[in-house]
Amino acid sequence: MQKFRGLIAAVLVGATMLSVAGCTSVKYIGDEDVFFDALKSNAGISKKEMQYKEKNTDFDGADVEYLTFTEDGNNSYCYIRFEDAKDAMYEFEEYYDSFEDALDDKAFDGSNKRMITKDQGYIVFDGDLEEETPFGGMTFYNGDLNMYGGIYVSKNVYIEIYTFNGSKKDKKTIDAILKDLNLPTP
């Protein structure tokens, strides 16, 4: 009986380690067409319909290989492939730090998952951010804000996929895109 209990414990520890390992990585999406394919398949947004696309440009003073952004109603989609992974991480850390501040100040009410390492990270959220709370360089002054989605970084790629004050349909679209891209979901 002791051996059986030991075996069960070992299996549970192994399963826990695998589930934690699966939750602590962000898939690297080095090809923007993978991002576009997920948007087209799940939100009906084609590459041509993106509001902003730019190659070999800069973003907040950093060199960027590819930058695209669009909004569809309450949903926002952003993909940035920086030349230097440090710049991608710097952009992500701005959001990560401000989200940590919001949690410390009890200005966010809801569920979230966060992870950050040397070269990757994510913040996924489903909840309300209080009015006038800074978040990644933005501050919302028109009332509390319901946030659903995530912000991701892996190597030199930074991605935002979220809805602010979105409907159930908006949230289903966000989930479908994130699942298609194999990124953590709220």
Residue 185 lies in a domain: no
* Amino acid at residue number 51: Q
Q: What is the pLDDT of residue 55?
A: 95
Residue 53 lies in a domain: yes
Domain that holds residue 15: 2-180
Cα–Cα dist 43/174, whole Å: 8
Average pLDDT of the chain, as a whole number:
87
Q: What is the pLDDT of residues 128-171, one digit of tens each?
A: 999 988 888 777 767 788 999 999 999 999 999 999 999 999 99
Cα–Cα dist 134/15, whole Å: 38
* Amino acid at residue number 16: T
Share of the chain above pLDDT 70, in %: 87
Structural domains in the chain (count): 1
* Amino acid at residue number 183: L
Residue 80 lies in a domain: yes
Query: What is the chain's alpha carbon radius of gyration, rounded to the nearest angstrom?
Result: 18
Residue 148 lies in a domain: yes
Residue 186 lies in a domain: no
